Chains A and B, each alone.
Chain A
């Protein structure tokens, strides 16, 4: 017979977790094993066991540790993606609270698989490039920008990782030289920034004063109480 779909629910309703309504013998009858056996002359039909692939002969190890070595149980837990605050949706204007761009108002693009937020100035407006930012260091305003023309598909965490510096093991003389090579930003990244920002800037210029708003930094003035401010 062609392989049939397995049954959707169990034939044995659960009374309580771990205890079914029917006993073993009743279940045997319900599943119809007796009918299958009768069809095949008193024996439940089994597939022929697959011939096991011959395992290569293992060499006895050279070294046995003196006492039993404890192995930690492998941790197979996977993190869930950081829950995004309900106030942060693609196109939201965020206020950065820490770091080099403290106080800058930026546009949120999407959440990356690591949980960090992908954000852009846009660069021409306030100097903030495509950047990753942690949700905790951000205030979400209720201002939204139309982000439908923007394609941020190709950006992920790998795009932003620093390149590993090669360690020079030889040459003690190089210890005394300052090894500061400020790498210029590769042309590709500049092009990516421009490609992403152009439709975004067009959408921003459609709203009056929004461009100046994004260019200005946020700061607390006298009389502003953060817990009473509506963002």
Chain B
């Protein structure tokens, strides 16, 4: 079981601790054994400990320490945003956020929908059972 996701310049990572929790950043340089210089389109470039980063599968093609404009252009070119939102990890996070922001009324509507869905499944199952039995 070799490593698949490497720390390299252009690796997209998710911040998993601290003020920028949940933000997608790009590793733009490695400072030393523990720290990387990270950058994102809407933040000031800064250092972050690797322990705060969770590496993702996405990598973009940038030279060391690109200018903000070229960073943004490279991110657009590899379409980081859509790749992330379509990945199972990214989708999970979106669903978690949506569930956390549900209103009391929304939770009620979700409950009704789940009951309805369960009912539909049970009906189909009953139909199939009947077919099998006969």
A-to-B contact residues, CB < 8 Å: 93, 95, 105, 141-143, 209-210, 212-213, 216, 218, 228-231
Partner of B109, one of A209, A230, A231: A209
Interface residue tally for chain B (C-beta within 8 Å):
9
Given contacts A230-B103, A231-B104, 16 further A-B contacts (CB under 8 A): A93-B104, A105-B104, A141-B104, A141-B105, A142-B104, A143-B103, A209-B112, A210-B105, A213-B105, A213-B108, A218-B104, A229-B104, A230-B100, A230-B102, A230-B104, A231-B103
Cβ contact within 8 Å between B103 and A141:
yes
- Report A-chain residues with C-beta under 8 Å of the C-beta of B109: 209, 213
Q: How many whole Å from A128's CB to the nearest CB in chain B?
A: 17
B-to-A contact residues, CB < 8 Å: 100-105, 108-109, 112
Sample (22) of A-B pairs whose CB atoms are under 8 Å apart:
A93-B105, A95-B104, A141-B103, A141-B105, A142-B104, A143-B104, A143-B105, A209-B105, A209-B108, A209-B109, A209-B112, A212-B108, A213-B105, A213-B109, A218-B104, A228-B100, A229-B104, A230-B100, A230-B102, A230-B103, A231-B103, A231-B104
- Report B-chain residues with C-beta under 8 Å of the C-beta of A218: 104
| Chain A contact residues, majority secondary structure | mixed
CA distance A56 to B108 in the complex (A): 75
- Report B-chain residues with C-beta under 8 Å of the C-beta of A231: 103-104
Cβ contact within 8 Å between A230 and B101:
yes
- Report B-chain residues with C-beta under 8 Å of the C-beta of A210: 105
Closest B residue to A210 by beta carbon equals B105
CA distance A142 to B102 in the complex (A): 10
Closest A residue to B105 by beta carbon equals A143
- Report A-chain residues with C-beta under 8 Å of the C-beta of B104: 93, 95, 105, 141-143, 218, 229-231
Q: How many whole Å from B6's CB to the nearest CB in chain A?
A: 36
CA distance A184 to B50 in the complex (A): 73
CA distance A209 to B110 in the complex (A): 11
